[in-house]
A and B are shown apart, each in its own frame.
Chain A
Amino acid sequence: MLELLQRIFGRESTGGQSKDVAKERLRMVLIHDRASVTPEVWEALKVDLIRVITQYLDIDERAMEVDLQNEKDAYALVASIPVLRVKRNLGALPGGEAAKG
């Protein structure tokens, strides 16, 4: 049933909207372009991530990897961060807003 409806209203009528395809492809390609031409921004993002995470965990900053990965129709920010140690008494830490309130 759904398939039938899709065939009637969906694919046939929107199949002609190639501009939507163009716009979506552009959006995707620009995420990658913009991310790959600004290493400074990546560095800044890493520094900020480290600042936040180290309030909770001891991590191996040198082995940390942050990357954009293309998965089918979306980009994901994928971070690989080796954890050395979890801090004791997490609830009392400065960033624990959620835990307090």
Chain B
Amino acid sequence: MGEVCVITSGKGGVGKTTTTANLGASLAALGKSVVLIDADIGLRNLDVVMGLENRIVYHLVDVVEGYCRLAQALIKDKRFENLCLLPAAQTKDKTAVSPEQMRGLCKELAQDFDFVLVDSPAGIEQGFRNAISGANQAIIVATPEVSSVRDADRIIGLLEAEDMRPPRLIVNRLKPAMVKRGDMMDIDDILDILAVELLGVVPDDDSIVVSTNRGEPAVLSASSRAGQAYRDIARRVLGEEVAFMDLDARPGIFGRLRRLFAAGDR
């Protein structure tokens, strides 16, 4: 049985889809079989971020409604042998799928894949409920802003009631220069408030925009800082201990210790 991991945030636009695409591609590059589910029904995005939009024939709602078999709706990513996408429907709405149906779908996919990554829509309504219903673990994405961290806290509270391992956090769009100036909350500030395990820190990086323009996840670009952060995250998901990237945004003894470890690591 594979892992079913939902990527969620509460607040919109903080990087759930970017995270799903890059984590999925990294895990596949590390030899795992991965399927990405776009659970943002009515507002599908994961297909364009992955550059697979022209190959969609069937979608998630077609599968659920029995118009096609599950295998027919899966789009194979030609860049990786073992990476697939199950796209969302664009013309339906969230009520077209029930949590029970999502649970069934995830269960079926977890039999064939090492990882099922579910890209959740923003919010805490039915779309979110659907996205988490089949998951046995969750990754929370938050940016270092008051509203995003607040929403993350709400989501963590809601997930506590679910039968899954404690959620882990990715802080996205960190701007080291602003942290240094004291104009952006740093990682310790955020962890202090949310009290969850940190899975990774992704810097704010123009290369994300460039790779999204091209439909190629940033992890495919060796020079992308954000890509490197996501590659590290993928290894942590696989249980490896990977030192946190030196973003020059964790001042003090911890940062220096980590840097020491990192030097031995790379």
List residues of A whose CB falls within 8 A of some B CB.
Answer: 16-20, 22-23, 25-27, 29-30, 33-34, 37-38
Given A26-B193, A30-B193, A16 and B146 contact (CB-CB distance below 8 Å): no
Contact in complex: B186, A19 (CB < 8 Å): yes
Interface flag for B184 (CB, 8 Å): yes
Distance in angstroms between the alpha carbons of A33 and B189 in the assembled complex: 18
Offer 14 A-B interface pairs, CB within 8 angstroms, sorted by A.
A16-B182, A19-B179, A19-B183, A19-B186, A19-B189, A25-B146, A26-B146, A26-B150, A26-B185, A27-B193, A30-B193, A33-B154, A34-B153, A34-B157
Query: Which residues of chain B are within 8 angstroms of A18 by Cβ–Cβ distance?
Result: 182-183
Interface flag for B181 (CB, 8 Å): yes
Query: Which residues of chain A are within 8 angstroms of B150 by Cβ–Cβ distance?
Result: 26, 29-30, 33
Query: Which residues of chain A are within 8 angstroms of B146 by Cβ–Cβ distance?
Result: 22, 25-26, 29
Q: How far is the CB of B123 from chain A (nearest CB, A)?
A: 15
Q: How far is the CB of A96 from chain B (nearest CB, A)?
A: 37
When each residue 163-203 of chain B gets 1 if its CB lies under 8 Å from chain A and 0 otherwise, what string results?
A: 00000000000000001011111100100110000000000
Closest 6 CB pairs of A and B: A17-B182, A19-B185, A18-B183, A23-B189, A22-B146, A26-B146
Chain A, interface SS category? helix
Q: Considering only CB atoms and an 8 Å cut-off, how many residues of chain B contact the other chain?
A: 17
| CB closest residue in chain B, given A37 | B157
Distance in angstroms between the alpha carbons of A16 and B182 in the assembled complex: 7
Contact in complex: B153, A23 (CB < 8 Å): no
Contact in complex: A20, B193 (CB < 8 Å): no
Query: Which residues of chain A are within 8 angstroms of B153 by Cβ–Cβ distance?
Result: 30, 33-34
Query: Which residues of chain A are within 8 angstroms of B145 by Cβ–Cβ distance?
Result: 22
Query: Which residues of chain B are within 8 angstroms of A38 by Cβ–Cβ distance?
Result: 157
Query: Which residues of chain A are within 8 angstroms of B193 by Cβ–Cβ distance?
Result: 23, 26-27, 30
Distance in angstroms between the alpha carbons of A17 and B184 in the assembled complex: 8
Distance in angstroms between the alpha carbons of A47 and B145 in the assembled complex: 37
Chain B, interface SS category? helix
Distance in angstroms between the alpha carbons of A34 and B152 in the assembled complex: 12
Distance in angstroms between the alpha carbons of A33 and B194 in the assembled complex: 13
Query: Which residues of chain B are within 8 angstroms of A26 by Cβ–Cβ distance?
Result: 146, 149-150, 185, 193
Given A26-B150, A27-B193, A29-B146, A19 and B182 contact (CB-CB distance below 8 Å): yes
Q: How far is the CB of A12 from chain B (nearest CB, A)?
A: 13
| CB closest residue in chain A, given B184 | A19
Distance in angstroms between the alpha carbons of A99 and B186 in the assembled complex: 48
Contact in complex: A22, B157 (CB < 8 Å): no
Query: Which residues of chain A are within 8 angstroms of B149 by Cβ–Cβ distance?
Result: 26
Query: Which residues of chain B are within 8 angstroms of A16 by Cβ–Cβ distance?
Result: 181-183
Q: How far is the CB of A13 from chain B (nearest CB, A)?
A: 10
Query: Which residues of chain A are within 8 angstroms of B186 by Cβ–Cβ distance?
Result: 19
Q: How far is the CB of B82 from chain A (nearest CB, A)?
A: 40
Q: How far is the CB of A75 from chain B (nearest CB, A)?
A: 15
Query: Which residues of chain B are within 8 angstroms of A17 by Cβ–Cβ distance?
Result: 182-183
